[in-house]
Amino acid sequence: MKFKVLLALCFLVLATPILFYIYQFGFGLWSEHSDWASMGSALGGLYTPILALLTLAVLVKQLQIQAQSRDYEQRETSRKLVFDMVEKFAQKIEERLDDELRHNLYVLSEMPKGHPDSHVLKSG
């Protein structure tokens, strides 16, 4: 909806100089080259600043969109980096736990029954 309103506004701004020219000088096909030159000069003088302002507005909007895109990319990159770090940390913890568990199981399997320290490994 906002885009349609903006498009209609741009069309109105671009049509206004032609409408003013037709209102002031009339509409028709002129036989004199100087009449065409006068019309071109008048419309060129009116359209140049209008188009310059519209171009500036488009450039400002592009800069805003680019800044939003850059911010989004930075957030996503940071988020991915954090998730990757958490994943690596979880893998390291799992590896250490697995190594420790394997070691404890090995020690338990090698420990003779009735050994005085066997209760420590069984409870821990």
Per-residue pLDDT reduced to its tens digit, 85-117: 999 998 888 888 777 777 777 777 777 766 666
* pLDDT, position 58: 92
Q: Residue 106: its pLDDT value, please?
A: 75
In a domain, 3, yes or no: no
Instruction: Report the pLDDT value the prediction gives residue 52, as an integer from 0 to 100.
Output: 95
Residue 46's Cβ-count burial label (10 Å; 0-12, 13-18, 19+) is: middle
- For residue 80, tell me if it sits in a domain: yes
Which residues, at least 6 apart from 20, have a Cβ–Cβ distance to it below 8 Å? 46
Task: Please check whether residue 59 lies inside any domain of the structure.
Answer: yes
Is residue 36 a part of any domain in this protein? yes
Alpha-carbon distance of 95 to 113, in angstroms, equals 29
What digits encode the pLDDT tens for the residues 27-64?
777 778 787 888 888 889 988 998 999 899 999 999 99
Q: What is the pLDDT of residue 122?
A: 54
Task: Quote the pLDDT of residue 64.
Answer: 97
Does residue 5 fall inside a structural domain?
no
Largest alpha-carbon pair distance within the chain? 121
- Is 11 part of a structural domain of the chain? no
- Token couple for 33: 């080259």
pLDDT of residue 59: 97
Which SS3 state, helix, strand or coil, does residue 38 take?
Answer: helix
- Is 92 domain-assigned? yes
**Domain count within the chain:** 1
pTM to 2 decimal places: 0.55
Nearest Cα neighbor of 13 from 69, 51, 65 is 51
Distance CA 39, CA 13 (A): 18
Domain containing residue 100: 16-123
Residue 56 covered by a domain: yes
